[in-house]
């Protein structure tokens, strides 16, 4: 993460609430016949949304655009989904991911499944137009720390070293 980027740490409790909020928003948009989740980030929200919407047919696709911790590059398909999910352009399919950032991954998914409904928990401005449903928008320079990326440790204050005013 570059020094000017904002940090947005998300706890397990908050992420679970946000995933349920996503499911609530999606509940009137279905029914969805199946779900495709983008691994790895989409796995946890997919499990929560699938439970809430009682979706049982779930497929994964593994797309990688981050190489290393925070260096984004070209999107690679590491594991494709079954061909039957692409039938009819993905009509009736719900695509789930944790975040849309620059939109690179979303563009690939839109090409593969143009009729699918694309939903993410979080969205950044560059990628937001590519998703149909999301819960929270964050600024483009915000780095989201998901609960599976974090451990318990001291948090530096937003304005460190500031002296109290009398």
Which residues are known to be catalytic? 97-98, 101
Cβ atoms of 61 and 72 closer than 8 Å = no
């Amino acid at each position: 993460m570059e020094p000017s980027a904002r940090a947005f740490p998300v706890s397990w409790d908050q992420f679970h609430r946000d995933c349920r909020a996503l499911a609530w928003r999606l509940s009137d948009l279905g029914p969805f016949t199946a779900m495709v989740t983008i691994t790895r980030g989409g796995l946890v929200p997919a499990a929560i949304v699938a439970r809430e919407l009682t979706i049982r047919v779930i497929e994964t696709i593994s797309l990688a655009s981050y190489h290393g911790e925070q260096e984004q590059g070209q999107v690679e398909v590491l594991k494709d989904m079954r061909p039957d999910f692409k039938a009819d352009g993905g009509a009736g399919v719900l695509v789930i991911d944790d975040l849309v950032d620059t939109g690179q991954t979303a563009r690939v998914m839109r090409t593969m499944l143009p009729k699918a409904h694309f939903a993410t928990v979080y969205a950044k401005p560059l990628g937001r137009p590519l998703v149909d449903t999301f819960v929270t928008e964050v600024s483009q320079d915000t780095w989201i720390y998901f609960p599976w990326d974090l451990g318990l440790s001291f948090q530096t204050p937003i304005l460190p070293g500031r002296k109290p005013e009398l």
